[in-house]
């Protein structure tokens, strides 16, 4: 079986970063508290990166720039609604359920809007989502008057962002669940297969009679749903939601997707790689923070990492390493 080079590289990097971190910090980096802390930070950017990945897989220059704006809009809109109609102290479970549902509904609606504009009006995804990004941000500002919306620190909402189950942060468990579910959907359902085929060759997909616009709309809707989930996690973790939170996430999400080996031209991408890629970035960032490095060094390290990944992909480094191992050598004679 051919090894997935991105999967191998990312896994090795995760192990390497954990080892270096543990060594450099004298163990603090590998303490349960820090591992939990890093796992808590991961889901919000992870959801957004998967959204970007799906959009890229759809091909035709697919990308979703509206992710974080959509997440903030979801949190703000759902937060204002839920706080106005439900008392978090009296009925915390209902409050949490309504807030989470609200976020996911608003997020999905935002995604559907993207999908319809792209598939029906044939607007290039980068322009469409740039426009909706501003629209979503604007809606969030108008709804909240530019102030942050307090959703409060009531369980069970608070524990989604800050609690743990069996030592693992709940937000991270939800994230892993979504990764597995989406991985299965992409690999085994008709929608998943058609999405990748459409991305690989849109023209062939049209002549094969694929319902292109439905596939596109579904894809951007899922991306929006993921943004809504990011909104839930952000609100749960920070107690407050605000329209300008995480402006830097836009580029980080794209970086994670590209580092995960998602083909920007469409047709290929693995959710598990996106998760690993997000973990690598998180480990690296936290490690640099542990060492008291300037944040500018972090940007530099990210850039280097991205270039390394592009090089690994371009020169098929993993395949060559594998080829030098006698046991893994193909029985067939080289042609």
Burial track 77-115 (b if 16+ CB lie within 10 A, e otherwise): bbbbebbeebebeeebeebbebbbebbbbbbbbbbbbbb
Task: Indicate whether 134 belongs to the interface with other proteins (CB under 8 A).
Answer: no
| Contacting range for other proteins; rule: CB under 8 A; set: 122-130, 154-162, 181-189, 257-265 | 154-162
Q: Is 146 in the site for other proteins (CB under 8 A)?
A: yes
Q: What whole-number distance in Å separates Cα of residue 148 and Cα of residue 76?
A: 8
- CB nearer other proteins, residue 233 or residue 257: 233
Query: Phi, psi at residue 315, to the nearest 5°?
Result: -100, 10
CB of 321 to other proteins, least distance (A): 22
Q: Phi and psi dihedrals of 90, rounded to 5? A: -80, -50
Q: Which of residues 161-200 bind other proteins (CB under 8 A)?
A: 161-162
Q: Which is nearer to other proteins, 208 or 247 (CB)?
A: 247
What whole-number distance in Å separates Cα of residue 81 and Cα of residue 68? Answer: 20
Query: 334: which DSSP letter?
Result: P
Query: Which stretch in 121-129, 144-152, 169-177, 272-280 sits in contact with other proteins by CB under 8 A?
Result: 144-152
Nearer to other proteins, 43 or 199 (CB): 43
Q: Which burial class, exposed, middle or buried, applies to 18 when counting CB atoms under 10 A from its CB (0-12, 13-18, 19+)?
A: middle
Query: What is the 8-class DSSP label of residue 240?
Result: E
Of residues 255-314, which lie at the interface with other proteins (CB under 8 A)? 285-286, 289-301
228-257 residues near other proteins, rule: CB under 8 A: 237-240, 242, 244-249
Q: Three-state DSSP class for 209?
A: coil
State the nearest-atom distance from the C-beta of 263 to other proteins, in Å. Answer: 28
Which residues in this chain contact other proteins in the complex, by CB under 8 A?
A: 20, 23-26, 28-29, 31, 33-34, 37-38, 40-41, 146-148, 150, 153, 158, 161-162, 237-240, 242, 244-249, 285-286, 289-301
């Amino acid at each position: 079986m051919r090894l997935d080079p991105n999967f191998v590289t990312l896994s090795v990097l995760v192990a390497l970063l954990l080892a270096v971190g543990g060594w450099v910090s004298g163990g603090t980096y590998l303490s349960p508290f820090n591992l939990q802390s890093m796992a808590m930070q991961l889901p919000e950017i992870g959801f957004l990166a998967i959204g970007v990945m799906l959009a890229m897989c759809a091909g035709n220059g697919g990308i979703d720039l509206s992710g974080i704006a959509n997440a903030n809009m979801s949190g703000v809109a759902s937060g204002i609604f839920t706080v106005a109609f439900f008392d978090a102290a009296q009925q915390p479970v209902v409050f949490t359920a309504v807030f989470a549902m609200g976020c996911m509904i608003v997020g999905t609606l935002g995604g559907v809007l993207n999908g319809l504009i792209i598939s029906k009006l044939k607007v290039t995804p980068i322009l469409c989502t740039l426009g909706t990004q501003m629209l979503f941000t604007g809606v969030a500002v108008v709804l909240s008057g530019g102030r942050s919306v307090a959703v409060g620190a009531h369980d069970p909402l608070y524990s989604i962002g800050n609690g743990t189950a069996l030592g693992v942060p709940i937000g991270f468990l939800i994230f892993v669940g979504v990764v597995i579910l989406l991985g299965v959907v992409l690999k085994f359902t008709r929608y998943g297969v058609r999405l990748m085929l459409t991305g690989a060759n849109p023209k062939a997909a049209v002549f094969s009679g694929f319902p292109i616009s439905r596939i596109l709309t579904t894809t951007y809707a899922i991306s929006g749903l993921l943004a809504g989930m990011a909104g839930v996690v952000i609100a749960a973790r920070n107690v407050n939601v605000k329209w300008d939170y995480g402006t830097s996430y836009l580029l980080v999400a794209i970086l994670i997707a590209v580092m995960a080996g998602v083909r920007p031209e469409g047709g290929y991408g693995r959710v598990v790689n996106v998760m690993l890629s997000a973990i690598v970035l998180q480990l690296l960032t936290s490690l640099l923070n542990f060492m008291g490095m300037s944040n500018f060094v972090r940007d530099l390290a990210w850039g280097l990492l991205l270039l390394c990944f592009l090089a690994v992909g371009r020169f098929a480094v993993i395949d060559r390493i594998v080829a030098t191992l006698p046991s893994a050598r193909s029985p067939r004679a080289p042609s």
